[in-house]
Amino acid sequence: MKGVLLVNLGSPDSPEPKDVKPYLDQFLMDKYVIDVPFLLRALLVRGIILRKRPEESAHAYKKIWWEEGSPLIVLSQRMHKKVQQKTEMPVSLAMRYGKPSIETGLQELADKGVTEVLLFPLYPQYAMASTLTILVLAEEIRKKKFPQMTFTDVPAFYNKPDYIKVLANSIKRSLEGFNYDHLLFSYHGIPERHIRKTDVTKSHCKINDTCCVTQSAAHKFCYRHQCYETTRLVVEALGLPEDKYSLTFQSRLSGDKWLEPYTDIEVNKMPANGIKNLAVVTPAFVSDCLETLEEIAMRAKEDFQENGGKEFLAIPCLNDSDEWVAVVANWINEWASAEIPVA
Ligand SMILES: C=CC1=C(C)c2cc3[nH]c(cc4nc(cc5[nH]c(cc1n2)c(C)c5CCC(=O)O)C(CCC(=O)O)=C4C)c(C)c3C=C
Ligand SMILES: [Fe+2]
Ligand SMILES: [Fe+2]
């Protein structure tokens, strides 16, 4: 029997430092996130980052936490429930870090007799720190605990026409009645090194003005190219002029060189460059989370206004909107009936 495992990033159990610390430990000790040898990673994460960050992150989580729990988890659960209503197959929800784990999700499916699993990372753009780490961990668990199962992976959907249509429609609806000067596409950042590591050609990704817009086999796994493409396609769908939008990368951790330009730095400069009313969309996330609700809707807004900006609109993610749920359910049902991968 066929079934589906939707997988998102995950959140701590609560916004208290005692729960944020183990969550950050699991997250940052992932070799696909902080991709240095184990001893160096342990020194960096456990010796340096985890000394102060759990307190700071807990403070940020407290600002966005809902009565029902973490927004990312609650919104993923709502979306999961609606998707389940639109398909006959069992659909489970899991998180890469925290709960419910991927193992729990696979066990749920196994208990219902599922042997063919559609593994669905809930990330529009491919990155080793998001998509790949899910696929690798799921495969490890499958081999150890569920050898009878087979997996089909849902590839990054950054350019799929139905996804672009839903995203463009949702932006359009949010912008109604908002007299904006500029629309900023802010994507979660990653270290530049990750782009080079996932370059299958080992020579294409120069991280310059041309590589991501020059045809290459590298693009199947190039996060930067995929962010550019999502933006280009949405801009085309909305008919936005060149001077009305830009693309930046947010949420960097100190240390490495991360993808540029940086959201916070660009947002701070905008009011001086005549942008008084700003809308921000965050298409690397399908569910609102700490990075959209605190970093963008609170901190970026505050910084923008302190630097002379006026109106600031944080556009919600697709979350559990009916249009988005219909697209996800449709991809799942196509896979169920077609006998071929959805790629
Ligand atoms: C688009 C998907 C994501 C990628 C790629 C990604 C890379 C990445 N993230 C960190 C470090 C942190 N990210 C944190 C939160 C966070 N990250 C994503 C998504 C991607 N991360 C989401 C959806 C969230 C929000 C989770 C939530 O509970 O709402 C955090 C935790 C919060 C904090 O302390 O800031 C960290 C840390 C790295 C290092 C990285 C790539 C190398
Ligand atoms: Fe992150
Ligand atoms: Fe590239």
Rounded to two decimals, the ipTM of the complex is 0.96
Helix (H, G, I), strand (E, B) or coil at 35: coil
Alpha-carbon distance values, 6 to 96, 236, 286 (Å):
10, 29, 12
Question: What is the DSSP code (8-state) at residue 158?
Answer: T
pLDDT on residue 1: 95
291 lines ligand 1 (CB under 6 A): yes
CATH number (domain holding residue 92): 3.40.50.1400
207 and 99 both lie in a single domain: no
53 lines ligand 1 (CB under 6 A): yes
Take residue 184 and report the two structure tokens written for it. Answer: 């900023």
Of the candidates 136, 186, 141, 149, the one whose C-alpha atom is nearest the C-alpha of residue 304 is 186
pLDDT on residue 254: 77
Take residue 75 and report the two structure tokens written for it. Answer: 């919104």
125 and 268 both lie in a single domain: no
Q: Which atom of ligand 1 is nearest to the CA of 35?
A: 42
Does residue 144 belong to any structural domain of this protein?
Answer: yes
Give the model confidence (pLDDT) of 233-276 as tens digits: 999 999 999 999 999 999 998 788 999 999 999 999 999 999 99
Distance CA 289, CA 8 (A): 11
Distance CA 84, CA 6 (A): 11
Helix (H, G, I), strand (E, B) or coil at 7: strand
Residue 306 marked ligand-binding:
no
181 and 143 both lie in a single domain: no
Q: What DSSP line would sit under 169-221, residue for residue? A: HHHHHHHTT---SEEEEEEE--BHHHHHHT-TTSSS---STTGGGS--GGGGG
304 and 326 both lie in a single domain: no
Is the CB of residue 188 less than 8 Å from the CB of residue 291?
A: yes
72 lines ligand 1 (CB under 6 A): yes
pLDDT on residue 86: 98
Distance of CA 246 from the midpoint of ligand 1 (Å): 22
The sign of the torsion formed by the CA atoms of 281, 282, 288, 292 equals negative
Helix H segments across the chain? 17-28, 38-42, 50-64, 71-85, 102-111, 133-145, 161-175, 192-197, 223-238, 263-269, 290-293, 301-306, 322-338
The domain of 10 spans 2-156+322-338
Distance CA 9, CA 72 (A): 8
- Which residues, in sequence order, are CB contacts of 232 under 8 Å at separation 6+? none
Is the CB of residue 38 less than 8 Å from the CB of residue 31?
A: yes
pTM of the model: 0.96
pLDDT on residue 338: 81
309 and 327 both lie in a single domain: no
pLDDT on residue 343: 54
192 and 253 both lie in a single domain: yes
Residue whose Cα lies nearest atom 33 of ligand 1: it is 57
12 and 32 both lie in a single domain: yes
**Domain count along the chain:** 2
Of 291, 294, 318, which is best to mutate to test ligand 1, by the most ligand atoms within 8 angstroms of its C-beta? 291
- Which residues, in sequence order, are CB contacts of 39 under 8 Å at separation 6+? none
Residue 339 marked ligand-binding:
no
Does residue 53 belong to any structural domain of this protein?
Answer: yes
Strand ranges inside 80-128, DSSP E:
91-95, 116-121
* Count of other CB atoms within 10 angstroms of residue 148: 9
49 lines ligand 1 (CB under 6 A): no
8 and 146 both lie in a single domain: yes
Distance of CA 12 from the midpoint of ligand 2 (Å): 13
- Which residues, in sequence order, are CB contacts of 306 under 8 Å at separation 6+? none
pLDDT on residue 189: 98
333 and 228 both lie in a single domain: no
Helix (H, G, I), strand (E, B) or coil at 86: coil
Write out the H or E segment, with its range, that includes residue 333.
Answer: helix 322-338
pLDDT on residue 171: 98
Residue whose Cα lies nearest atom 30 of ligand 1: it is 24
Is the CB of residue 93 less than 8 Å from the CB of residue 100?
A: yes
Does residue 110 belong to any structural domain of this protein?
Answer: yes
Distance of CA 300 from the midpoint of ligand 3 (Å): 27
| Ion ligand 3 nearby residues (CB, 5 A) | 205, 211-212, 222, 225
178 and 271 both lie in a single domain: yes
167 and 307 both lie in a single domain: yes
Alpha carbon 25 to its chain centroid, in Å, reads 19
Write out the H or E segment, with its range, that includes residue 245.
Answer: strand 245-250
122 lines ligand 1 (CB under 6 A): no
Q: Which residues of the chain have pLDDT under 70?
A: 339-343
122 and 6 both lie in a single domain: yes
Does residue 201 belong to any structural domain of this protein?
Answer: yes
CA atoms within 13 A on the CB side of 195: 25
pLDDT on residue 339: 62
Does residue 343 belong to any structural domain of this protein?
Answer: no
Residues pairing with 150 in the sheet = 116
